[in-house]
Amino acid sequence: MKAVKLKEYLNQIADRLTEDSTLEDVYEQLSLLADIDESEEQVEKGEVLTQKEVEEKSKEWLK
């Protein structure tokens, strides 16, 4: 994750913190946002499978 994006995400998370928020809450939110970014990059690169492809591969995996 680029530093600019990280700072943007941390600011978004900070705006939503409450008195009961923990560092773990911040980490979970940051991790979720990083996972979403990674998924979007994979879609852009075409690194995704269709539902049918997943079903076919899962048949192989579950033998």
What pLDDT was estimated at residue 2?
81
Distance CA 58, CA 37 (A): 25
What integer pLDDT is reported at residue 63 of this predicted model? 75
The mean pLDDT values, 10 residues at a time, for the chain of 63 residues are: 89 96 96 94 95 92 82
**pTM confidence score:** 0.72
Residue-level pLDDT at 10: 95
Alpha helices in 1-63 (DSSP H): 3-15, 23-45, 51-61
The predicted structure's pLDDT at residue 62:
86
